[in-house]
Amino acid sequence: MDLVELKSLIEEEEGEHLEFKELPSGSISLLGNGGEQRRSVLGYCVALGNEGGGKLVLGVSDKKPRSITGVSAFDSFEDVKKQIYGSIGLRLHIEEVLDGSKRVVVITVPGRPKAQTLKFYGKPLMRVGEELRDMDDATLKKILNECEPDWSAQICERAVLEDLDQLAIVTARENFKKKNLRLPEEVGTWSDETFLDKAKLSIKGEITNAAILLLGKPESSSLILPAVAQITWILKGEDGQEKDYEHFSPPFLLSVDFVFQRIRNLKYRYIKDGSLFPEEVDMYDSRVIREALHNCIAHQDYSLHGRVQVVESESGYLFLSNEGGFLPGSVEAVIQTDSPQQYYRNKLLVDAMVNLNMIDTIGSGIKKMFTLQKQRYFPLPSYDLSNDKVVVKIYGKVLDLNYARALAQHKDLTLVEIMLLDQIQKRKTISKQNAKYLKEKNLIEGRYPNLYISHVIAKTTGSLAQYVKNRPFQDQHYKDILLEFLKRNPGSSRGEIDSLLIPTLSDILTDQQKKNKVTNLVYNLSKKEKKIKNLGNNRAPKWELNI
């Protein structure tokens, strides 16, 4: 968008798809909070997305005649995009338009997915005049009624009771009894047809697609073509090359056990909780694997004709994936909202898996996985929600033992805070707002985005050594080291300088960042401070003091 297009946009009326914000203070909160601070970028994106999409224009007066006032906030558009995507799963398009010294930021918000509402800290918002309000029941009902027919509830026309595996039906009955403790004797008197109806696997005696997935014989998967009923396990070496694989067909109620048996759940030993004795545990908690795998089966978009995949890496990771977008929008939204989803892609399949004690619908499955990993001092599961797919990475080892102890020993930390600290453990960038929050609690130190464990945590968990390795020194410290080195070793090459300085740099920097750091130090000493000079050439430099 250029200035001419912006001035044309300014002449339009505000409405469902266009919002102007003057921002006299020059800034606006990015994410707001779960209380009354809704008038934030996130709040307006939620409302605009729920109304089909639109533009949020920052730095233009919202009263006519409109004028360009400018805005100084959000110099990092990638940070804005990342935080909004992480909160509600929308990918924004952000442009900057300059009018002299005045800067306008135009944020284009796409519309919400079909049959789904976007939520601001668990609450769907809509705009009423200048206000952001909770969505009314009529609008909410209208949106939820947009949903596609439930594929899992469709009758499998050619299927009969004999297409279901008898052992799977027996197992399903036992699981149903465990879930419904008041009905054990009554369940035993039901015919198979009655049981399937009660368990939400058939409708008035007719076999559904959900029943074929969970209880069908292997050959019955052809009855639901072109949908693919298959789980694929793949083993990859540390070099990423495929070493082994196996496909698993229905009945998924039984197949998940065979998938689990293929995973090489080796023993992992580490010093736990400051003990002198090593703790030996399985690399993967069976409850975490089952929760993740059952979620993949329940939420797979079978219309996309893809497989559920379990990829095991010998490097100590599991990747479980299913086709179809993540309906809640973001993992953060699931963690922060202790309530069931409003819409499920496979409602009948989800209901059946609940009845068979495979999953629950109270929104706690992901939270349970996070808690189990935290209790083992292992990194939390990581989610990749791109490309209309859900991929969860489960860690089978400790990334940083001292850091893991810090997470486990601070019992007052909320799960959201632990998630942020876990991102730092994995060397991932968090938002400036979240970094500021953690710094205010003395949980982290460092210059954004290179953050590391604070001295307070390091001291209480015995990780001072790691803290010292992470903590960067001022540039002058490294310059003094280099000058002293060149005084004793004139004509040193860049490789020799790298060997000198790189091991002394903070461990929170990547290898490339360390090389860039040394380049900047050499540049400043030679070009700006004129303290060193190159007697060689750019390809083969020979550095010495400039005396």
What is the reported pLDDT for 305? 92
* Residue corresponding to tokens 């060997």: 499
Distance of CA 218 to CAs 228, 247, 255, Å? 12, 11, 10
Q: Dump pLDDT digits (tens) for 505-538.
A: 876 677 888 898 899 999 999 999 999 999 888 8
Q: Is the pLDDT of residue 188 over 80?
A: yes
CA distance 260 to 233: 9
Q: What are phi and psi of 101, to 5 degrees?
A: -90, 0
Q: Is residue 543 classed exposed, middle or buried when 0-12, 13-18 and 19+ CB atoms within 10 A define those classes?
A: buried
Tens digits of residue pLDDT in 477-507: 889 889 988 988 899 999 999 998 988 887 6
Q: What is the average pLDDT score of the chain?
A: 85
- Whether the pLDDT of residue 282 is over 80: the answer is yes
- pLDDT over 60 at 363, yes or no: no
Bridge pairing between strands 202-203 and 206-207: antiparallel
Range with the lowest mean pLDDT among 95-99, 193-197, 510-514? 510-514
Query: Poorest-confidence range of 14-28, 197-211, 525-539?
Result: 14-28
pLDDT of res. 272: 57
Q: Is residue 134 over pLDDT 70?
A: yes
User: Which one is predicted more confidently, 540 or 38?
Assistant: 540
pLDDT for 274 beyond 60:
no
Q: Is it the case that residue 106 has pLDDT exceeding 90?
A: yes
Alpha-carbon torsion, ordered 360, 365, 371, 377, to 10 deg: 130
Strands (E), 100-171: 102-109, 119-120, 123-128, 131-134
Do 89 and 96 meet the contact criterion of CB atoms below 8 Å apart? no
Q: Is 235 helix (H, G, I), strand (E, B) or coil?
A: strand
Predicted confidence (pLDDT) at residue 236 exceeds the cutoff of 90: yes
Give the Cα separation of 117 and 120 in Å (integer): 10
pLDDT classification of 277: cutoffs 50, 70, 90: very low
For the segment 361-373, the average pLDDT, to the nearest whole number, is 79
What is the spatial distance between Cα 77 and Cα 397, in angstroms, rounded to a whole number?
Answer: 34
Q: Which residue matches tokens 């629950």?
A: 360
Weakest-pLDDT range from 84-93, 459-468, 518-527: 459-468
291-to-348, 350, 369, 469 alpha-carbon distances in Å: 18, 13, 7, 37
Write down the pLDDT at residue 276.
42
Say what the pLDDT of residue 340 is.
57
Task: Give the pLDDT band of residue 270 (cuts 50, 70, 90).
Answer: low
Confidence bin at 435 (pLDDT 50/70/90):
confident
* Structure tokens that stand for 478 in this block: 């490294």
Across the range 217-240, mean pLDDT stands at 94
Res 463: pLDDT = 52
pLDDT at 27 over 90: no
Q: What pLDDT does residue 404 have?
A: 63
What is the arithmetic mean of pLDDT over 81-101? 87
pLDDT of residue 262: 94
Higher pLDDT, 93 or 405: 93
The per-residue DSSP string of 39-105 comes to -SHHHHHHHHHHTT-EEEEESB-SSSSP-B------S-HHHHHHHHHHHH----EEEEEEETTEEEE
What is the band of 212 on the pLDDT scale with cuts at 50, 70, 90?
Answer: very high
What are the structural domains of the chain?
Answer: 3-144 (3.30.950), 151-224 (no CATH), 231-395 (3.30.565.60), 401-470 (no CATH), 475-545 (1.10.10)
Per-residue pLDDT at 342 exceeds 80: no
3-state secondary structure of 314: coil
Nearest to 84 by CA among 30, 130, 152: 30
Residue 157 scores a pLDDT above 60: yes
Residue pair 37/29 in contact (Cβ under 8 Å)? The answer is yes
Whether 544 and 486 have beta carbons less than 8 Å apart is answered as yes
Q: Which of 17-21, 79-83, 237-241 shows the lowest mean pLDDT across its residues? A: 79-83
